[in-house]
Amino acid sequence: DFNPAYIDSKGEFVIGRRVGTTSQVSEVLFDLSQSGGYGLGISRRHAVIRWTEHGYEVLDLGSVNGTWLNDERLVPHKSYPLASGSHLRLGSMRLFVLYRPLAETKQKL
């Protein structure tokens, strides 16, 4: 089953589940609760994706059920480069990551 989801964030965002008001107000949350996140093993604050001067990177936030990038399990709290076309697995949920490079987006504005 394929369900596209989009997020527009130029800094960083957390992937996880919103539970009541437990999320930190200052962070952008890509909320997977409505996509069955709890049953698929998504932690409240599972991973973060952020832009750096070298491109996007992903970081597991010490999630209970782990994060994989292209079938490699991530060491918690360590950054990994995240290329467009990468496969992410958070718990049992599989995500396919596509993005336009930031420089390309700026030229089109």
Higher pLDDT, 107 or 99: 99
The whole-model pTM stands at 0.83
pLDDT in tens, 30-74: 999 999 999 999 999 999 999 988 889 999 999 999 999 999 999
Residue 104 has pLDDT above 60, yes or no: no
Q: What is the 3-class SS of the chain, one letter each residue?
A: CCCCCCCCCCCEEEEECCCCCCCCCCCCEEECHHHCCCCCCCCCEEEEEEEECCEEEEEECCCCCCEEECCEECCCCCEEECCCCCEEEECCEEEECCCCCHHHHHHHC
Residue 107 has pLDDT above 90, yes or no: no
User: What is the pLDDT averaged over residues 13-22?
Assistant: 82
Q: What is the pLDDT of residue 99?
A: 85
Q: What is the pLDDT of residue 105?
A: 47
Residue 20 has pLDDT above 60, yes or no: yes
